[in-house]
Amino acid sequence: MTLLFNIYTIFPEIFPGFLGCSLTGKALTEGIWSYKTINIRDYAFDKHASVDDTPCGGGAGMIMRADVLGQALRANYKNGPLLAMSPKGKPLTQQQVHELSKNNEISVICGRFEGIDERVIEAYEIEEVSIGDYILTGGEQAAQIMFDAIIRLLPGVLGNNQSLENESFEFGLLEYPQYTRPIEWQGKRVPDVLLSGHHKKIEEWRKQQALKITAERRPDLLKKYLDSKRV
């Protein structure tokens, strides 16, 4: 099964970007995933291929037009999740990434300017997704990050499934510290428990470290994790 990403953008040349390298690039070559870019400018109505206009009510910047984007969607969108990368969207989570990875086809709108006309979002029930509380120059970069998170979950992309199981967010906590050889470096030694061969003690140490790091860096995640344990 191949996962197809339909990408609505005014900069199709940005893709596949870094997704064409490393494991995601290998998976692209092997046909585990594929992509199709839809240039929104191809559906503009004037000779200048305009896709945006000034915001109603005044304000800075430009807004992507509902009629142009709507025309692009009418001509290309069929089914499956329809997302738009937006800083006002719901934060992307590992749970959502897992759900998205189960689809055969995902359509994503890469916004530019100050946003998308709300009417097209409502008409097509577009789900807005954010990758963090900061602003980028466009949705293409955000989309590639989301695609990377999805692609690595597809069967055959990563060689070791255990790597996926122990990652941050998979169990609601940040990942524990990792070490490798040399055993001693610049006066710092790998924790003895990791060299003991005692799997139960190692597992307990890793859990305690994950709890400690999550408490220090993401207390919101720790609270959510502890609340889930009380249910």
Domain with CATH 3.40.1280.10 in the chain: 3-151
Shortest CA distance to 109 belongs to which of 231, 6, 213, 228?
6
Residue 44, both tokens: 């503009």
Shortest CA distance to 124 belongs to which of 68, 62, 77?
77
Cα 31 to Cα 26: distance, rounded to the nearest angstrom: 9
Q: pLDDT tens-digit profile of 31-80? A: 999 999 999 999 999 999 999 999 999 999 999 999 999 999 999 999 99
The highest-level CATH class for domain 3-151 is: alpha beta
The highest-level CATH class for domain 166-230 is: mainly alpha
DSSP tag of 20: G
Are residues 38 and 7 in contact, defined by beta-carbon separation less than 8 angstroms?
Answer: yes
The whole model's pTM is what? 0.92
Phi then psi for residue 128, to 5 deg, are -85, 135
Q: pLDDT tens-digit profile of 111-123? A: 988 999 999 999 9
Question: Mean pLDDT, to the nearest integer, of 126-149?
Answer: 97
Alpha helices in 30-127 (DSSP H): 66-76, 94-100, 118-123
Residue 30 CA, chain-centre distance (Å), reads: 21
